[in-house]
Amino acid sequence: MTEPEIRRARAADAAALAAMYRDAYRENRRLGFPAKAGSADRETVAEWIEDDHVPLARVGEAVVGGVRLSVTDADAGRVQLSRLGVRADRKGEGIGSRLLDHAEGLVRAWGHTTVWLTTPGEHPYLPGFYRERGYAVTRPYPLDFREYDEVVMEKRVR
């Protein structure tokens, strides 16, 4: 297995990153947990890249994963992690864990203390993945526009 290169996404990466997200989130839709990232288009991802920090993982020329970081409360040192995704044919290779490590390292380097995210509480493996990585459920996150609710999970990184 080739180690992925992780770097900050650029505007030119938006189309490839959007295609990766549609592929990565197809499984969540099949499991009954559809998310906006599952229908991401180039324009939407270009906005994420412009507005936030979006690391991507590449193997050769192929974009195989990505994650989005948004500073939500600089005074409290809180950064939201969202849109963690890995292309379906590359899942199980540790790319998601590498992206998460990279994201947490950035949050620490920026001087922030807490990473938080939302995930479906009833998802068959995502809450467990985050728990294994040191995240804890801190509160429910009800969704009025979905047939399922999410939970907020947080991790102190410094």
Q: Which of 3, 152, 129 is nearest to 78 (CA)?
A: 152
Distance CA 84, CA 3 (A): 18
Give every residue of the chain whose pLDDT is below 50, as ranges: none
Residue ranges in 25-123 assigned as alpha helix (H): 26-30, 42-51, 95-109
Query: Where do the domains of the chain lie, and which CATH numbers do they carry?
Result: 5-156 (3.40.630.30)
- Check residue 146 and give its pLDDT: 87
pLDDT for the residue 35: 87
Closest to 85 in 3D by CA, of 48, 113, 43, 122: 48
Tokens standing for 130?
Answer: 């985050």
Q: What is the pLDDT of residue 10?
A: 98
User: Looking at the DSSP assignment, which residues form a beta bridge with residue 63?
Assistant: 58
d(C-alpha 28, C-alpha 46), whole Å = 23
